[in-house]
Amino acid sequence: MADTGVSTRRTLRLDERGTAGPGSRTDEVVIGLSPAFGDFFTKTIVDIPHAEVLRELLAGIEEQGVHARVIRFRGGSDLAVIAHAAAKLSGSGIAVGVLSRGTTMIHQKDLVRLSNLELFPQAPLMDLDAFRKVGRNAARYAKGESPEPVPARNDFMARPRWQAKAALLHIKETEFVVPGADPVELDVRFQLADAG
């Protein structure tokens, strides 16, 4: 039934299309993915499918009338590095970086790497709505607007509860790092698995 909400299950297909270069469109946002996102890993720390994460980020950007480009960074698993490198390749200078476990950041090319426009450090708190809003805000920055930052949810219980799992995921993600590897442009396709 169409009106009962998300009942479909989508799978994500990411096809590599060669080394990613700087974008020439000033109305593009780059989404920078960590080495194992949608690959070895398929879900965030709270089991949100990567297919849905990426779809919401893209939807948030598209709704604002802005173009998106998805790039995988194999060279490291540090979110600030990924997001900042993605911003340097972005035609607008704005990028979203996202790790397999769900930690997310909006970055801008002229900022120093350790700074950022918006940071969502607590992966367990990132739900689909949050990813949609991250995409939307990134697109609005790209348009030269000044959006209210996405309200940072904070749950003091989340940190201790998820800390061990987060550390494990990080170690695993880091295993997929290929030092010095070039960023790779990705073709993104969503496929409907059976509607269940």
Partner 1 sequence: MALVAGVDIGNSTTEACVAEIGPDGDVEYLSGALAPTSGVKGTADNVEGVVAVVRRALERARRGVQELDAVLVNEATPVISGLAMETITETIVTESTMIGHNPDTPGGAGLGVGTTVAFGALGEREPGEPVICVVGAGIDFEDAAHGINAAVERGIEVTGAIVHADDATLIANRLREPVPVVDEVTLVEKVPLGMPAAVEVAEPGRTIRTLSNSYGIATVFGLDAEQTRMVAPVARALVGNRSAVVVRTPDGDVTGRRIPAGALTLSGERGKRSVEVDAGADEIMTALRGVRPLTDAAGEPGSHVGGMLARVRDTMSELTGTRADAVRIQDVLAVDTFVPQRVTGALAGEFALENAVALAAMVRTSRGPMRLLAARLREALGVDVLIGGVEADMAVLGALTTPGTGKPVAILDLGGGSTDAAVATDDGVVRSVHLAGAGDLVTKLIDSELGLDNRELAEDIKKFPLAKAESFFHVRMEDGTARFFTDPLPADTFARVVVLSDTGMRPVPTRHNLDKIRQVRRAAKHKVFVVNALRALEQVAPGGNLRQLGFVVVLGGSALDFEIPDLIAEAVAGFGIVCGTGNVRGSEGPRNAVATGLVAAHALAPELGLAVGS
Binding residues for partner 1, rule: CB under 8 A, are 1-6, 8, 25-27, 59, 62-65, 108, 110-112, 115-117, 132, 136, 141, 143-146, 148
Strands 67-72 and 28-33: parallel
CB 58 within 8 A of CB 105: no
**146 C-beta neighbours (distance < 10 Å), count:** 9
Of residues 121 and 178, the one with the C-beta less far from partner 1: 121
Q: How far is the CB of 193 from partner 1 (least distance, A)?
A: 14
Of residues 3 and 194, the one with the C-beta less far from partner 1: 3
Of residues 65 and 160, the one with the C-beta less far from partner 1: 65
Strands 10-19 and 28-33: unpaired
Q: Which residues contact 148 (CB under 8 A, 6 or more apart)?
A: none
Of residues 5 and 18, the one with the C-beta less far from partner 1: 5
Q: How far is the CB of 43 from partner 1 (least distance, A)?
A: 19
Q: From CA 34, how far away is CA 8, in angstroms rounded?
A: 26
Q: How far is the CB of 38 from partner 1 (least distance, A)?
A: 19
